[in-house]
Amino acid sequence: MHALRHAYASVLLDAGESIKALSEYLPGRLKAPPGT
């Protein structure tokens, strides 16, 4: 499961998605840094 989440996050980041958006797509695992 971790590998799938990592692959999904990597694809989204490569496509220009923000960390903040990823933290909404993958709740509980990825925290956006303050101020982003």
Domain ranges of the chain: 1-36
pTM above 0.75, yes or no: no
pLDDT of residue 32: 56
The residue that leads in pLDDT, 1 or 19, is 19
Count of beta carbons in the 10 Å neighbourhood of residue 7 = 10
Give the model's pLDDT for residue 2: 79
Q: H/E element holding 25?
A: helix 19-25
pLDDT digits (tens, 9 = 90+) for 2-36: 788 889 899 999 999 998 888 888 876 555 556 65
pLDDT at 11: 94
pLDDT of 22: 87
Radius of gyration for the chain, computed over Cα atoms and rounded to the nearest angstrom? 10
Structure token digits, residue 28: 């509980």
Neighbours of 22 (CB within 10 A): 20
